[in-house]
Amino acid sequence: METYKLDRLAPHGGGVSAQWDLSHLLPSSREPAVGVHSLLSLAEAAAGELAVHRGRVAAFSGAELVCFMQKLAEVRDLLGRARWYAALRLSEDVADDERLALDQCVNERATAVDSRLLFFDVEWAAVPAEVAEELLRTDSLDFCGHHLRRLRVNRPHLLPEAAERALAEKAVVGARAWEHLFDELVGAMEVADGTATQSLDSALSRMSSADRTERRRVADALTAAFVPQLRTRAFTYGTILRDAAIEDRLRGRSHWRARRNAENQVSEASVQALLDAVSSRYDLVRRWYRLKARLLGVQRLAHYDRSAPIGSASRAVSWQEARETVLDAYAAFSPQLERAARRFFVENWVDARTGPRRRQGASCEYTVPSVHPYVRVNWQGRAPDVLTLGHEIGHGVHGLLAAPCGIFHQHAPVTLAETAAVFGETLVLRRFEAMATLPAHQLDVLAASLDGAASIVFRQTALSRFEERAHRAARERGTLSADDFADFWIDTQSEMFGTSVDIDDDYRPWWSYISHFVGVPGYLYSYVFGHLLGLALHHRYIQGDTSIPALYVRLLEAGGSAAPNNLLHAVGIDTESGTVWNEGLDLIEQQLRAAEQMSSLVTDRSAAR
């Protein structure tokens, strides 16, 4: 009897002791609260030194600009340490009053510092073009030059300083407060399944159960959990939509996604081209779901079947084996990436604990370059969790390699950040693929990849379409109800599914737990961008382009020090032509064809036996 090499990942369970050490963010030998307030006091003092330059930015010499930006970098580092300590500590228990109070206090004090320094952005944007260009040629300004150029891109949308300060100060009790309420409501959700209750994350993870009866039961329990406070969550989201519309009107932005596009340094036309390219090929996800229905032995998928495992995907995975799989995958591509990835596990930069009051989902926060990134996952001990870990470590390695760029240039636009994460996830997936020897197991790996594409490329496109409907409706009609959002949800999901998935009224409130809609409007297309771009890069690598590893490392090391198009040109990719999206989609179609062929082969062998 043949043995599937992935058996080495099973069945040891999901037990995990990985816990991060947040003290790295604080001054040494300090109580946490004392350390946080010490950081804030230092930031306030440094901000006071900078504030004396109000009204003088236009008259800066090159040397004065360098000194100002160096001191500003110091302020950002201090604020970043305090903010991220409070935020990451809160993510461990979103319902803890002491943690909530510290986070709120830090945000209020940090916002006051930010407000005090807003004059620089306004005055710098107003500097005449020829003067600004001369200043930007100053020696020793490379650490912030691209950042300064980007600040001037926002020049048409900046308000007078008093207005900017008012908007910054009201944000604490405005959209940011509503976002916090939404997170608290979702984080405190309990899903009742029979006599037991569980967290939202735990319940959602069970949607990947191999038992269809369990998936249906959990889906019903989730629907029931989404109904209480649904109107409150809808009102919260609607308020955030209206707040965004007001700010965009005041700033003269022409499109609801304009701010996100500016942060990503992409045009709305290119975003629409991306989303249109994917939605024009919804037939691929429909084909996959029809094939998946046959593999699962059902006539048609229900919405709760989409994450159902094929074969070995349901096997348990130990934390130690997940770590080894991720590191092996990175090492096979680049020893330099593996060394960076290993530090996250060895130096306690990862937290993989689970709990009912932890923030949902997974994330990587770069924090500040003088410290290091942190990775958070809610480890459930499943094979898909290994891919999630590979994804977040991809973010972490990006942040770590880009740290020498400094606080102004460490962060690449989200689109490139997601490219790094998806590339890391794809490396782990290919590691799984290399371990598969039997046709049935090869089909399992293809199924995992296609499930990823369905979730990241096609689902995120549908979610982006939902957001677009919601933002436009809020601007055209004003207040929106929970039923309005449910209608947008069902319409945009149905456009993707076609007749391949059955959805009913129980699915209507399922939009209401997705925090991205509230916390990072317009963000979701970044996943699509990153996934397709990551696939294109990986395809070139497996086709034999031996230059890809070195080029890819240089791309990560560049962080956000240049515009995305310039960075991507260095690795031979032109996103403006649109061919890269089709290249990625074509690869998904190739995988789909292989799965269809492998499915027939597996079925034929089963029939022969």
pLDDT of 378 reads: 86
C-alpha to C-alpha distance for 448 and 384, rounded to whole angstroms = 8
pLDDT of 144 reads: 97
Write the pLDDT tens digit of every residue in 87-121: 999 999 988 899 999 999 999 999 999 999 999 99
Write the pLDDT tens digit of every residue in 396-411: 999 999 999 999 999 9
Closest CA to 360 of 104, 186, 99, 518: 186
pLDDT of 81 reads: 97
Write the pLDDT tens digit of every residue in 317-333: 889 989 999 999 999 99
Strand partners, 197: 192
Fold of 31-173: Butyryl-CoA Dehydrogenase, subunit A; domain 3 (1.20.140)
pLDDT of 429 reads: 83
Q: What is the mean pLDDT of residues 530-551?
A: 88
Write the pLDDT tens digit of every residue in 344-385: 999 999 999 887 788 877 899 999 999 999 999 988 887 778
Q: Give me the count of residues in the chain.
A: 609
Q: Is 581 left (phi over 0), alpha (psi -120 to 50) or beta?
A: alpha
Up-side HSE of residue 581: CA atoms within 13 Å toward CB? 24
pLDDT at 84 over 70: yes
3-state secondary structure of 261: helix
Q: What is the mean pLDDT of residues 215-234?
A: 95
Write the pLDDT tens digit of every residue in 285-299: 999 999 999 999 999
* pLDDT range class, residue 312, cuts 50, 70, 90: low
Cα–Cα separations (whole angstroms), residue 307 to 25, 115, 134, 144, 486: 37, 45, 56, 44, 22
> Can you tell me which residue has the tokens 């010499």?
61
Name the most confidently modeled range: 17-21, 414-418, 420-424.
420-424
Query: Where in the chain are the domains?
Result: 31-173, 194-346+434-609
Determine phi and psi for 55, rounding to 5 degrees: 85, 0
Cα 267 vs. chain centroid, distance in angstroms?
A: 20
User: Kindly report the CA angle at 244 between 527 and 157, in degrees rounded to 5?
Assistant: 95
- Give pTM, 2 decimals: 0.78
Query: What would the DSSP string read from start to end of 136-157?
Result: HT-TT-TTTHHHHHHHHHTGGG
* CB contact set of 440 (below 8 Å; sequence gap of 6+): 311, 602
- Taking residue 593's Cβ as centre, other Cβ atoms within 10 Å add up to 12
Q: What is the mean pLDDT of residues 449-471?
A: 95
Q: What is the mean pLDDT of residues 118-132?
A: 92
C-alpha to C-alpha distance for 601 and 597, rounded to whole angstroms = 6
Architecture of domain 194-346+434-609: Orthogonal Bundle (1.10)
pLDDT of 606 reads: 47
* Residue 576 DSSP symbol: G
- CB distance 107 to 179 below 8 Å: no
pLDDT of 534 reads: 85
- CB distance 314 to 209 below 8 Å: yes
pLDDT at 276 over 80: yes
pLDDT at 604 over 70: no
- CB distance 368 to 35 below 8 Å: no
